[in-house]
Amino acid sequence: MMEGLELGKGWTVGSRVPRSPCQTGGTFSCSYRVSNTDGRDGFLKAMDYASALASKDPASELHRITSAYLFERMVLEECSANGMSRIVKAIDSGKAQVGNSVVEYLIFEPAIGDVRARLGSLRSFELAWRLGCIHNICVGVRQLHGAGIAHQDLKPSNVLEFPQGGQKLADLGRAWHRGWQSPFDDFPCPGDVSYAPPELLYRDVVRGDEERRFGADFYLAGSMIAFLFTGVRAMEMVISELDPQFHPDRWEGTYVEVLPYLQRAFSKNLAALQGNFHDARLRDELCDVYKQMCNPDIVARGDRFHRSAIGSRFGLERFISKFDMLRSLALAGKVKHQ
């Protein structure tokens, strides 16, 4: 336990933060609130070596969590060096003596909560906030992709809310980097399985990095549209329309064989999503974007106006502009949810 520990550089460890059931991995990490003598607050993530040592294979677990810590720290340093405004910033890192163990930690800028918590506290629909949230998520994904990084675990609990700065993407522990080896590179589904795009759920992973990494992030960003407007993730909506024999945990055929059933389910989902909007412009714009971002067929997924000679079909520039425009219209009362 680290409560009350003085870390140096003015940092003191406060209370432990309970582990969220929405967290992916992180079995051997724990979190604390921290404060600094200069008035700053922070959120500390520490490697829990004691739990690793108590596991069935201590050597393997120690290697895994140390590799994961070093990888995440390097990715965060690159994000900061590149001025990624929509990625949560690590403001310090170091080691601390805890009993007979040395614990490595990262300290992050403090958020007021995640998107899931914010949705639960809303007293009204707040259309502009939702559109601004999607906009900021897409900006964050674009910033990562521009540096050759894929998040791979984008979900509501990893989108944090800041009092002055809107939303930022957090938890890069499952990220992929074009130039570095990650401890999770060989995982069929590196992030939270419950949010994963269908091609990963059905183990269709013999693909290049463009589709497997950036195409998955593109899907996960689009899935946030479904979540913010219905409270249900994109793949959950698809599975709800499938006969159980076609569910990922039962299907034994190829992805190509199950894809027609997924497409039919997706078409039903799209129709249901459209029914959530009474404003024709908002409905048409958002559902058109959702159709491009969350298509189960990764070959068809992507910006339909993309030209192969320029950039990636998973580029988000056009969608970012669209969400920004819709948010401005919502603030002006020119588009409404109801």
115 pLDDT higher than 80: yes
Can you give the pLDDT at residue 57? 86
Can you give the pLDDT at residue 163? 86
- Share the mean pLDDT of the chain: 91
Domain assignments of the chain as residue spans, ordered by start? 6-108, 113-331
What is the arithmetic mean of pLDDT over 246-259?
A: 96
Tell me: the pLDDT tens digits for 124-179?
889 999 999 999 999 999 999 999 999 999 999 999 999 887 999 999 999 999 99
259 pLDDT higher than 60: yes
1 pLDDT higher than 90: no
What is the arithmetic mean of pLDDT over 32-40?
A: 96
CATH architecture of the domain 113-331 equals Orthogonal Bundle (1.10)
Query: Residue 6 — pLDDT band, cuts 50, 70, 90?
Result: very high
CATH architecture of the domain 6-108 equals 2-Layer Sandwich (3.30)
What is the arithmetic mean of pLDDT over 34-56?
A: 87
111 pLDDT higher than 80: yes
Can you give the pLDDT at residue 232? 93
Query: Residue 291 — pLDDT band, cuts 50, 70, 90?
Result: very high
Can you give the pLDDT at residue 198? 96
Three-class HEC string of the chain: CCCCCEEECCEEEEEEECCCCCCCCCCCEEEEEEEECCCCEEEEEEECHHHHHCCCCHHHHHHHHHHHHHHHHHHHHHHHHCCCCCECCEEEEEEEEECCEEEEEEEECCCCEEHHHHHHHCCCCCHHHHHHHHHHHHHHHHHHHHCCEECCCCCHHHEEEECCCEEEECCCCCCEECCECCCCCCCCCCCCHHHCCHHHHCCCCCCCHHHHHHHHHHHHHHHHHHHHHHCCCHHHHHHHCCCHHHCCCCCCCCHHHHHHHHHHHHHHHHHHHHCCCCCHHHHHHHHHHHHHHCCCCCCCCCCCCCCCCCCCCCCCHHHHHHHHHHHHHHHCCCCCCC
Query: Residue 100 — pLDDT band, cuts 50, 70, 90?
Result: confident
99 pLDDT higher than 90: no
43 pLDDT higher than 90: yes
